[in-house]
Chains A and B, each alone.
Chain A
Amino acid sequence: MANETKMRKYFQYPILTVLGMSSMTFSACSGLVDIYDELTVQDTASSPYRQLHVTATTYDDWTYLTLDNPDSTVVLPIPTTLNSGEWDGVTSYTRQEIKLGSTTELSSTPTDAQPEPERWDLAFHHFDIRTNGGMAFETEYTSLDQLPAHWSDIPGIEWQADQTTKDRVWIDLSNSLAFNIGCQTIDISLPLSNMAWMDVSNPPPIYNVSGHVCLLRMKDGTVAALFLDNYMNEKGKKGYLTISYIYPYE
């Protein structure tokens, strides 16, 4: 960003910065205001790639969509009790004590299976992503532009199916200051979920992004390439995902 480059120059020439301040146009009452960047999210309308925008700011539901029609989403709540009487053997409500470097399971209670729509490809819960029977792989590419013409030309692909996690899908952060977090035990795609990562083990949250393109192989064998463009809206609120993708990626 141009302004950041400008700021770096300030650091390189600190005396000029200080002296230059005196000649800047500013209101003495509200101070220097034009020296920072605006949080305007990059205009992606001209992007050569398709994009999906998911609002996943809440913690108690999953948002489902298909890559064919990503604007049509279905939001379904996360069950926290077992009302059906039949446990699928995985889905649970688990309380974890999560701290940097250590996770301790405090309790785990079986719940109903996570409800799903009839047709979906991906499900989003904040930064967590599930696939509908698909497999994923995190490449070393940092842009969709870098991808070869065919996914089969990418060397060293090791597909990963969704895996059961007990401490990744946070559904109750109301006691997070005591590091006591309610989680859903459920299968998620780790390569896709690691595209953005929020660490609440020592509040406030710390955000990380992988910056890598991920491949998704659907259960019908078709492949998509996905890249996380952003995880916030224009006001800086987290949980607004923008993902550019190529589908089908031959």
Chain B
Amino acid sequence: MTIRSLIFFFAVVALAHHGAKATTFVTSADGTTTQPADTAYSDWSDKGIDLDIVVVTATRTPKPLSKSPIPIQIISANDIRKTDATNVQDILQRELPGVEFSYSMNMQVNMNMAGFAGQSVLFLIDGERMAGETNDNIDFERIVANGVDHIEIVKGAASALYGSSANGGVINIITRDLADGTEWTLDADGRIGSHGERRYALNWGVRRKTLANKIQLSYHGSDCYQVHSKRTEALPLIFDYVPGQEVYNVGDRLTYQPHERVKLTGRLYYYYRQMVRKQGESEHTRYYDYTAGLRGNFRLGKRDMLEVAYLFDQYDKTRYYVPSQLAVSDRDVREYSNVQNSVRALWTHPVEQGTLAIGTDYLYDYLVNIKLGNAHYKQSSFDAFAQYDRSLGDNWEVVGALRYDFFEIGHRSQVTPKVSLAWHREQFKLRTSYGMGFRAPSLKELYYDFEAMPSWYIDGNSELVPERSHNFTLAADYAHGAYTYTLLSYYNRISDRLTTGVPRSLADGAHLAYTNLRQMSITGGEASVQGRWSSGWRAKLAYSYTNEHNPDQAPNQFMPARPHALNYNVEHSRTAGSHYSWSAILSGRWLADVHNDEYRSTQHPEEGIMRVHYPAYHLHTFQFVQRWDDYISLTFGIDNLLGYKPDNYFYNAPLTTGRSYSLSLHIDIDKAYRHWK
């Protein structure tokens, strides 16, 4: 860390300390919120750390956050709004210290969360899986901040409830719904920024008796631009351009509640993204998604609940030939399509001192890809699971879950257990758990046949076995006064990790095949402290530690996890009169340097391995938010406040060329209408 950054951090801490002088108890651990004595600040509708928020991801049953027996992190609607983020990438990086997004060939995005790459972290939207992948990561642009209510994050293996790909954790995106009793809502959002960044979004909701409908529209885009590295040696994993893109997300959700015991929800979703890597290129890559789902929630008897859902999700990639005089111009040709049809059912039955949940899922997975020799592959998978969640006296709670998964290809079966134990007294909560995770090899990893570059191939491997992990977690939360403290530590033992292996030189070039690594482990932890004071100050500091231990010493396919990372957020809010308030928010993150063993040339593995150093960096953002009458907000933002510019644009470097600016406007039209009416 440089002297300048140290001074900056001290300044941040001093600022927070200054704000802490006049503290008043605001939020208690049981979720009750008391009004501060000093009301001369605007809390921006912030209810503090809302422990009453109902979470579903940890146990697949609704539960107040304070009662969750499994550690779960929440990024609230208020947090999301303050980030002024466009997509889930921005939100996660700003809020979670152990999350980093890096890039790979063709600037495809890869996530790393606590040592697990994106393919080992299960992303859900309202509890439902997403079709399609690139580098086995979901298309993160499908999750725009506009439609998100809050995000629930469960770290560690959760395959006992969620099956394949949940061996590193689950990130469940809970979308916004029309609040009970609301007749209509309408809000609009716009943002412009450097590098041609633009974002426009509209949400419109209407309720008529038993029917409620919500439409979400959003568009965002940016221009492509070049970046220049200062490198003095051949370093392969760097990029020279940041692609531009155009992204549309359109969603509609219709809810019909003919009876208090019955709720039917239908949803449709359309997604389009076009990536432009260079001005004037004659071919663009496009991405589409079409989703249609139907869900029924039924209350049976006194307290039994049954949820039955069907989801169709098709994710396509196409090559679009730009209009010109070429014989193939102006054509949009499909190159990849992943179609998933899934049916699921979940029955929850209250029992003495607890809840029993029993569920089952069926997934039909269909994949066609020109990189599979233009062949199509299909696979059915089925699972059944049960979970018993029980209180033991006043202070103890135990959860046990067991799941069985069956995959058609190879007739593979998998049994995964999870046990959690929680103890709490007043403001203190201690949780520990053991869970098993697994990731079944994808159709791509089994059957890929792709000439990525002339003389360089990526091959599937039909002999692959599922990756498995054993996860042990210990977590503690403590709330005192204006402060909340959290600690989380974990150990993961991973066998048969799915990745690409050692390249082989064959007659037609180098071949990189998918393989299973023998064994590796990830140890780590997180610590955070946050405070909120009646003087209008609020601050949060979070640190994460990740240690990957790979005895095989196999070169990492993706960027390694950084061992240390720090996120902070300091904000101050004030009101001026009855119609105007403002907030000043300073936030940032620091990521430690990391070394990685990589092939000097993946096309020529015989040239050996080199150790590459990826430097530390820190980025800071300042936002000034003004609000008028609670229905208009105007945010001016400065990203990369200190003007950091990487010497070399490694695949894990931030996409920045220095300080950048943004301006965004949000209008709650329904609130404005009611105000003026």
CB neighbours of A164 from chain B (8 A): none
B262 at the interface (CB under 8 A from A): no
A69 at the interface (CB under 8 A from B): no
Q: Give per-residue flags for B344-379: 1 if the beta carbon is below 8 A from chain A beta carbons, else 0.
A: 000000000000000000001010101000101010
Checking A11, A19, A33, A142 against B272 with a beta-carbon cut-off of 8 angstroms, the contacting residue is: A11
CB-based nearest B residue for A173: B454
**Minimal beta-carbon separation of B201 from chain A (angstroms):** 13
B602 interfacial by beta-carbon distance below 8 Å: yes
Contact with A along B214-237 (1 / 0, CB 8 A): 010100000000101000001010
Interface residue from A28, A142, A242 paired with B327 (Cβ < 8 Å): A242
A contact residues around B602 at 8 Å (CB): 177
Could you say which residues of chain A place their CB within 8 Å of the CB of B335? 236
For the A-B complex, the count of residue pairs with Cβ-Cβ distances under 8 Å equals 171
| Inter-chain contact A38/B333, CB cutoff 8 Å | yes
Contact A236 B319 (CB under 8 A): yes
B578 at the interface (CB under 8 A from A): no
B234 close to A30 (CB less than 8 A): no
| Smallest Cβ-Cβ distance to A57: which chain B residue | B454
Query: Inside 8 A of A199's CB, which chain B residues have their CB?
Result: 278
Is A14 a contact of B250 with CB atoms below 8 Å? yes
Residue of B nearest to A29 (CB): B366
Interchain CB contact under 8 A, B314 and A37? no
| Chain B contacts for A203, CB-based, 8 A | 105-106, 452-453
Q: Chain B contacts of A21 at CB under 8 A?
A: 268, 270, 290, 292
Q: A207, B290: Cβ atoms under 8 Å?
A: no
Nearest A residue (CB) for B277? A206
B328:A39 contact, CB within 8 angstroms:
yes
Smallest Cβ-Cβ distance to B106: which chain A residue: A204
Cα distance A138–B201 in the bound complex, in angstroms: 44
Kindly provide the distance from the CB of B611 to the nearest chain A CB, expressed in whole angstroms.
16
Contact assessment for A44 and B327 in the assembled complex, using a CB-CB cutoff below 8 Å: yes
In the complex, whether A178 has a CB less than 8 A from a CB of chain B is yes
Q: Which of A13-48 contact B (CB under 8 A)?
A: 14-15, 17-19, 21-22, 28-33, 36-39, 41-42, 44
A202 lies within 8 A of B240 (CB): yes
- Which of the 9-residue segments B280-288, B486-494, B535-543 touches chain A? B280-288
Cβ of A208 and Cβ of B282 under 8 Å apart?
Answer: yes
Could you say which residues of chain B place their CB within 8 Å of the CB of A149? none
- Among A1, A180, A202, point to the contact of B234 (Cβ < 8 A): A180
Q: Which residue in chain A gives the minimum CB-CB distance to B310?
A: A28
Is A157's beta carbon under 8 Å from chain B? no
Residue of A201, A206, A227 ringed by the most chain B CB atoms within 10 A? A206
Check A1 against B330 for contact (C-beta < 8 Å). Answer: yes
A142 to B473, CA, bound (A): 65
Give which listed residue, A19, A174, A207, A231, contacts B455 with CB less than 8 A. A174
A101 at the interface (CB under 8 A from B): yes
Is there an interface contact between A177 and B334, defined as CB atoms closer than 8 Å? Answer: no
Specify the chain A residue showing the minimal Cβ separation from B227.
A100
Interchain CB contact under 8 A, A101 and B226: yes
* A7 CA to B286 CA, complexed, in Å: 12
- Would B324 and A211 count as touching, CB distance under 8 A? yes
* Residue A97 interfacial (CB < 8 Å): yes
**B66 → chain A closest CB, angstroms:** 38
Contacts of A178 in B (CB 8 A): 234, 236, 600-601, 603
Pair A100/B455 contact, Cβ less than 8 Å: no
**Is A105's beta carbon under 8 Å from chain B?**
no
CB distance from A206 to the nearest CB of B (A): 5
- B337 touches A (CB below 8 Å): yes
CB nearest to B318 among chain A residues:
A36
A18 and B250 within 8 A (CB): yes
Residues in A neighbouring B217, C-beta threshold 8 A:
14
**Is A37 touching B331 in the complex (CB atoms < 8 A)?**
yes
Say whether B241 contacts A202, CB under 8 Å.
yes
| B324–A209 touching, CB < 8 Å | yes
- Report the contact-size class of chain B (Cβ under 8 Å from the partner): 35 or more
B325 touches A37 (CB 8 A): no
| Chain B: minimal CB distance from A168 (Å) | 16
B510 at the interface (CB under 8 A from A): yes
Contact A29 B324 (CB under 8 A): no
CA distance A37 to B332 in the complex (A): 5
Q: Which of B234, B248, B325, B364 is the one whose CB lies under 8 Å from A211?
A: B325
Asked whether A3 and B331 contact (CB < 8 A) given A21-B290, A177-B601, A178-B603, the answer is: yes
Closest to B236 in A: A178
Tell yes or no: B436 within 8 A of A by CB: no
Q: Mark A119-135, 1 if CB is under 8 A from B, else 0.
A: 00000000000000000
Find out whether the CB atom of B509 lies under 8 angstroms from the CB atom of A174. yes
Given contacts A14-B270, A18-B270, A207-B283, contact A174 B328 (CB under 8 A): no
Q: Kindly identify, within residues 211 to 227 of chain A, every residue whose CB is under 8 Å from any CB belonging to chain B.
A: 211, 227
Say yes or no for B636: interface residue by CB 8 A criterion: no
CB contacts (< 8 Å) of A49 on chain B: these are none
With contacts A203-B453, A211-B325 taken as known, whether A28 is within 8 angstroms of B332 at the C-beta atoms is no
How far, in Å, is B381 (CB) from chain A's closest CB?
A: 14
CB distance from A55 to the nearest CB of B (A): 15
Tell yes or no: A249 within 8 A of B by CB: no
Given A32-B290, A42-B328, A177-B456, CB of A37 within 8 Å of CB of B333:
yes
Most buried by B among A37, A44, A199, A228: A37
Please report the C-alpha to C-alpha distance between residue A1 and residue B321 in the assembled complex, in whole angstroms: 10
* Whole-angstrom CA separation of A173 from B234 in the bound complex: 16
Assuming A29-B366, A236-B319, is B332 touching A36 (CB within 8 A)?
yes
A30 to B601, CA, bound (A): 39
Report which of A28, A39, A42 forms a contact with B312, defined as CB distance below 8 A.
A28
- Give the residue among B316, B335, B453 with the most A Cβ atoms within 10 A: B453
- Over the window 226-245 of chain A, the binary record of Cβ atoms lying under 8 Å from chain B Cβ atoms (1 yes, 0 no) is 01111110011000001000
How far is it, in angstroms, between the C-alpha of A10 and the C-alpha of B289 when the chains are bound?
A: 13
Residues of A within 8 A of B320 (CB): 4
B614 sits at the interface (CB 8 A)? no
CB <8 Å contact, A30 and B236: no
- Which B residues are in CB contact (< 8 Å) with A50? none
Given A4-B330, A100-B226, A236-B319, the answer on whether A176 and B314 have CB atoms closer than 8 Å is no
A52 to B468, CA, bound (A): 56
Contact A227 B325 (CB under 8 A): yes
- Whether A207 and B281, one on each chain, are in contact in the complex, defined by CB atoms closer than 8 angstroms, is yes
Residue in B closest to A234 when the chains form the complex, CB atoms: B328
**Are B326 and A39 in touch, CB under 8 angstroms?**
no
Task: Give complex CA distance A229, B328 in Å.
Answer: 8
Residue of A nearest to B338 (CB): A31
Q: Does B604 contact A (CB under 8 A)?
A: yes
B339 at the interface (CB under 8 A from A): yes
Q: Which residue of A lies closest to B378 (CB)?
A: A29
Q: Are B604 and A100 in contact (CB under 8 A)?
A: no
Contact indicator A174/B452 (Cβ below 8 Å) = no
Rounded to whole angstroms, the CA-CA distance of A204 and B250 in the bound complex is 30
Q: Return chain B residues, CB-CB under 8 Å to A247.
A: none
B341: Cβ under 8 A from any A Cβ: yes
User: Is the beta-carbon distance between A100 and B240 smaller than 8 angstroms?
Assistant: yes
Contacts of A173 in B (CB 8 A): 453-455
Q: Is B239 an interface residue (CB 8 A)?
A: yes
Report whether A36 and B366 are in contact in the complex, using a CB–CB cutoff of 8 Å.
Answer: no
Contact B333 A36 (CB under 8 A): yes
When A101-B228, A174-B603, A204-B105 are in contact, do A15 and B241 touch as well, CB less than 8 Å?
A: no
Question: With A and B bound together, what is the CA distance between A59 and B329 in angstroms?
Answer: 25
A-B pairs, 9 with minimum CB distance? A31-B339, A42-B327, A100-B240, A31-B314, A37-B331, A230-B327, A14-B250, A173-B454, A174-B455
* Sampled A-B contacts (12; CB under 8 Å): A31-B312, A32-B290, A39-B333, A97-B234, A101-B226, A173-B454, A174-B454, A175-B603, A177-B456, A201-B240, A204-B453, A211-B324
B interface residue numbers (CB < 8 A to A): 105-106, 215, 217, 226, 228, 234, 236, 239-241, 248, 250-252, 268-270, 272, 277-278, 280-283, 290, 292, 312, 314, 316, 318-320, 324-335, 337, 339, 341, 364, 366, 368, 370, 374, 376, 378, 452-456, 509-510, 600-604
Given contacts A30-B339, A202-B239, 7 further A-B contacts (CB under 8 A): A19-B252, A21-B270, A28-B339, A174-B604, A177-B603, A179-B236, A228-B326
